[in-house]
Amino acid sequence: MIYEFRTYDIKPRMMGDYQAAVDKALAGGRTKYSPLFGYWYTEFGPLNQALHVWPYEDLKQRQDIRAVVGKLGYWPPASGPLLAAQKSEIFLPAPFNDEKVTGQLGPVYELRTYTYATGDIPHVIEAWSKAIDERRKHSSFIGAWYTDLGGLNQWAHMWAYKSLEERARVRADMVARKLWPAPGGPVPLRQENKLMLPFPFSPLK
């Protein structure tokens, strides 16, 4: 299984138009060909960004499906004039992910992206594997992934919260009890995060 993370920078004041274009295109039946994992827009962090995540069995399935839907006439959405930049990355899922996660888990979603030293990702997976069962009891764990194509040595993980207050409370509690960050794992070289809200058409809400 692979996950394609597509990050689009939307021109300022154009997010409403972008949402309408994607809503119309999705209504044409894009998800009949492959499922949509989630679709969000940023609230804190880099502004005016949209992130959509698509799972595929492998790179060949991705290529085949994109070739088919590109001929349908309604996909990709007619959003080109609204975009300032686009980025696509291919991630592999952590072995402890729940691939069937979906539903009303937010509305606040946090995506944290860490960059590690070369060779550290297997050690991250090992440390997380020992700690994730306890950590996921305290807030909804959406998934963790590491890059296969794109910026290398990156570890992305996503969490859902009912509110910003819940996020602050859970994170403070985990640190105070020394349950998280995962004990024994390597320290990242760089950390980034963004807080996002789901579009109405996102399977994860």
Tens of pLDDT, residue by residue over 141-198, are 999 999 998 899 999 999 999 999 999 999 999 999 999 999 999 999 999 999 999 9
152 DSSP assignment: T
Helix (DSSP H) and strand (DSSP E) numbers for the chain: 4, 8
Q: CA–CA separation, 205 vs 199, rounded Å?
A: 8
Of 85, 72, 68, which Cα lies nearest the Cα of 25?
72
Cα Rg of the chain, angstroms: 17
CATH 3.30.310.50 given to domain 2-198: no
Structure confidence at residue 150 (pLDDT):
86
DSSP 203: S
Q: Please give the Cα distance from 180 to 132 (Å, whole number).
A: 9
Residue 111 CB-half CA count within 13 A:
25
Q: Residue for token digits 């004039």?
A: 81
- The residue extents of the domains of the chain are 2-198
Model confidence at 40: pLDDT above 90: yes
